[in-house]
Chain A
Amino acid sequence: EAGVVQSPRYKIIEKKQPVAFWCNPISGHNTLYWYLQNLGQGPELLIRYENEEAVDDSQLPKDRFSAERLKGVDSTLKIQPAELGDSAVYLCASSWVGYTFGSGTRLTVV
């Protein structure tokens, strides 16, 4: 069984540019999560999807962050425009009974 796949693995962009991260969850996992992990910190939940519905997006900074999960499978997280403080690791996870995490995307904003 393939795990949670995220791409790209690394991304370097200039501030004010847009950026997008992609996540492919484990087949059959209806619940998908995006987490933000700052350096030296634990992950923090940004958004949770049940199929294609965002059921918890209270921690998502909606002025610049957006997410979608079309057809309840793959998901994309977007930042526009990126700021220096957005430099972090963005983790995706999916769940059926237990959680499975991807390897994350490390974003550096310069």
Chain B
Amino acid sequence: AQSVTQLDSQVPVFEEAPVELRCNYSSSVSVYLFWYVQYPNQGLQLLLKYLSGSTLVKGINGFEAEFNKSQTSFHLRKPSVHISDTAEYFCAVSPLGAGANNLFFGTGTRLTVIP
């Protein structure tokens, strides 16, 4: 079975400050890892993904994430946030293996950037 835990439901941060959104997962098999962003009244948009290779992955809008297998974490970071980064962020895993067809999502973290 798989589960995804996003430890912070809400993260307020001042504009131009750094931010880290935490994600931990549990899985009995290897997984691919994703971060999606959801702006109000819009669908989910892929920020970045980890499939293999370098554990530090860079995505759109200046975001990056690091896969830590020993800690089963995939935290999302940005060194300097902008007002336009205010949105809901979802961590998701896709398990490898027969019959594994879908993404498993965390409950989301609402990032609010304060001017």
Asked if A and B bind, the verdict is no
